[in-house]
Structure 1
């Protein structure tokens, strides 16, 4: 059997930053400031600068970033929040945990992202916000979506958990809405060595509320005076050092991902394989390289037999998941159909051109065999 093609290999990225991480951790061992302190503050400042915002607040994970943003904006019981059905469950989960109600919206058949039309169709008099998901690392038409949100008085929250370094007409992901929410889970484009997240914003009052909320609602400058009902969701200093070591390499890694996506796109131009498209005006981060194929489950199984690992993001739309079915108001045909076809191909910055060529060859051969079988 040929050598396995991994879906994701974190080792090359880890090897690149190993010396910087060791240096940062050695400093932490000397200082003993493992929660908060200079390491976290340094990363927060660097991440805000990178994203083009004035503030960044490190938190425990990407789900908490969404939840704390909703709470910080005062969005809870009685409010509705529009959420695209094609997303990881955490997007809808955070809405419910905040006490609000998710309003699921369909997506574009080309990009699988929220559109102005699907957003508008989901808005009701109770809608107070929209969470725009930059799925797979691609950004939708933020200009048009922001216009619809403004016309209806909605807050715009960017779920940028997969979009580190993506941009819309030059504006970084996370910098366009009231806040941008990031996950630094290890497999992300900018990944920690454990769970971590952040909220970016240019609203200093919102940033201050989230800083308080992440630390049990503490009043600034006090340890035992609490002005808000908060929670414990802090970015620890060890992860901050890892993220600070990786951040200078993020743009180069993103450029590699875009090049790899281009190889895939060129290879599939005259085949039944359809790559999920980018929105014109956006520069994707390509956290995932997602294609749509017929007979997805059989195709995935045959690729595995040929030594090619793949993933499925995501096989069940949010509104069809058991805990969220009660919030569904009807079928969402694009999201439902796409969930049966999406297949994520190997994608990481150090993926070699010949390996990508092998993946493409195997997929073309599998689809050819599938076509033969369908005519038996």
Structure 2
């Protein structure tokens, strides 16, 4: 008699994606159908702690009731106008962004990489129309180890072979310098007078949560000012309270604005993980270089996105999520360092706020880190490896101390499996 193998719900959904979808991701084998706060549930009904937060897009927690209410309320009235017309939501959202982060103008887009592309275009336009560089000579500097997205121009700035292989030819006018190396950047500025801007992450998330020296950004900012170069910060992953304050790069209350960029890029948690929303902020001298018809997006700044994002930002402020991220991050990394004293697998603990990572000893090929994440999953916690031997750990910012300690127990139990 022939044996019939029963296929689980999860296996069926995974098979369908593999059959009909492009193979451009390698997800953990878990099929999620519901989320609330720090938890997600799969189609079998199993509950997990979410320690990726959709790459820090769900800082406010899954399906935050206030954000979902704003979504429903606006969706019943007006969702999209295109920018051919004004709406009653865009101006309010732009004003909110500008006043909160301290800029004169905001340009609202959709995905994070669209915002990075927007910043690149602004750098070049400003370089020709304000700085006075010769036509088609402007260069934009990026840091080694960066991750700003997947478009052709953005991967032109990457030194990650997996992002670049067989996608060339690449865009000209891109220069790279080592991350966290002020001297290398200064030497470049001395040698090349065609530098328009420097685009950098305040903490390199995709690279494995690489935290630079405390004075790195302020020193880079000073050099940019001295050489008349735009200082551009990509806070798509680090922003909106993830690192223990609203922004990783500077304090929006102006208590420390020495690292405030000329152009600020936001995304991900800007909408609380509900819609793709991004924004670029700058003052008039930079932003007004772009004139009508020179840049835009059909969906950028749509009424639904504006209503949702304004509420998502207000939730972060009202619930003091930056403060919680700071406090819970300290508790979490203290616990990770304590585990590291008993587990030879943890080579290093990195992070700030609730953006953390552990570096796994002997996992450069990625197999061990993947296996550890599979064990995390088996014990009720979801995380993903990055760059082979690093595991990024970034729960929603609504997590409490009791949950932190439970997750630390899961991590230690999982690591013990490989001792």
TM-score (norm 1): 0.70
Deviations 1:39-95 (CA, angstroms, capped at 9, x unpaired): 011101101111111221212332222222222232694443222233324288545
Query: Is residue 67–residue 272 contact of structure 2 (8 Å, CA) maintained in 1?
Result: no
Does residue 1:305 correspond to 2:372, yes or no? no
Does residue 1:237 correspond to 2:303, yes or no? yes
Structure 1 residues 13 and 250: alpha-carbon distance in aligned structure 2, compared to 1, 3 A threshold: farther
1:106 aligned partner = 178
Aligned partner of 1:182 among 266, 270, 294 = 266
Does residue 1:289 correspond to 2:356, yes or no? yes
Deviates more, 1:143-152 or 1:51-60: 143-152
Structure 1 residues 4 and 21: alpha-carbon distance in aligned structure 2, compared to 1, 3 A threshold: closer
CA distance in 1, matches of 2:258, 2:104: 11
Structure 2 SS opposite 1:276: strand
Aligned partner of 1:275 among 343, 346, 349 = 349
Give 5+ residue unaligned stretches, structure 1: 108-113, 219-227, 279-283, 316-339
Indicate the structure with greater helix content: 1
Query: Is residue 123–residue 196 contact of structure 2 (8 Å, CA) maintained in 1?
Result: no
1:176 Cα deviation from its structure 2 partner: 1.6
1:174 Cα deviation from its structure 2 partner: 12
CA distance in 1, matches of 2:151, 2:136: 15
CA distance in 1, matches of 2:89, 2:181: 39
Query: Is residue 270–residue 278 contact of structure 2 (8 Å, CA) maintained in 1?
Result: no
CA distance in 1, matches of 2:229, 2:177: 15
Structure 1 SS opposite 2:357: strand
Query: Is residue 379–residue 410 contact of structure 2 (8 Å, CA) maintained in 1?
Result: yes
1:111 aligned partner = none
1:179 Cα deviation from its structure 2 partner: 0.8
1:169 Cα deviation from its structure 2 partner: 5.6
Aligned partner of 2:326 among 238, 258, 264 = 258
Give 5+ residue unaligned stretches, structure 2: 1-44, 128-134, 158-169, 241-245, 341-345, 364-368
1:127 aligned partner = 195
1:88 aligned partner = 147
CA distance in 2, matches of 1:367, 1:6: 18
Query: Is residue 380–residue 410 contact of structure 2 (8 Å, CA) maintained in 1?
Result: no
Structure 1 residues 178 and 39: alpha-carbon distance in aligned structure 2, compared to 1, 3 A threshold: same
Rg larger in 1 or in 2?
2
Structure 1 residues 88 and 106: alpha-carbon distance in aligned structure 2, compared to 1, 3 A threshold: same
Structure 1 residues 89 and 159: alpha-carbon distance in aligned structure 2, compared to 1, 3 A threshold: closer
CA distance in 1, matches of 2:118, 2:46: 47
- Tell me how many residue pairs correspond in the alignment: 312
Does residue 1:143 correspond to 2:215, yes or no? no
CA distance in 2, matches of 1:265, 1:42: 38
Query: Is residue 25–residue 241 contact of structure 1 (8 Å, CA) maintained in 2?
Result: no
Structure 2 SS opposite 1:291: strand
Aligned-residue CA RMSD in angstroms?
3.5
Deviations 1:212-237 (CA, angstroms, capped at 9, x unpaired): 3xxxx43xxxxxxxxx4x45362211
Structure 1 SS opposite 2:289: helix
1:181 Cα deviation from its structure 2 partner: 1.2
1:175 Cα deviation from its structure 2 partner: 7.9
1:357 Cα deviation from its structure 2 partner: 1.7
Structure 1 residues 122 and 14: alpha-carbon distance in aligned structure 2, compared to 1, 3 A threshold: farther
What pairs with 1:276-355 in structure 2 (closer than 5 Å)?
276-278=350-352, 286=354, 288-294=355-361, 295=363, 296-312=369-385, 314-315=386-387, 340-355=388-403
Query: Is residue 160–residue 174 contact of structure 1 (8 Å, CA) maintained in 2?
Result: no
CA distance in 2, matches of 1:208, 1:352: 43
Aligned partner of 2:280 among 199, 205, 211 = 199
Structure 1 residues 92 and 115: alpha-carbon distance in aligned structure 2, compared to 1, 3 A threshold: farther
Deviations 1:11-54 (CA, angstroms, capped at 9, x unpaired): 6452233333333444537xx85654220111011011111112
Aligned partner of 1:69 among 108, 119, 142 = 119
Structure 1 residues 239 and 357: alpha-carbon distance in aligned structure 2, compared to 1, 3 A threshold: same
CA distance in 2, matches of 1:42, 1:232: 19
Query: Is residue 52–residue 175 contact of structure 1 (8 Å, CA) maintained in 2?
Result: no
Structure 1 residues 118 and 256: alpha-carbon distance in aligned structure 2, compared to 1, 3 A threshold: farther
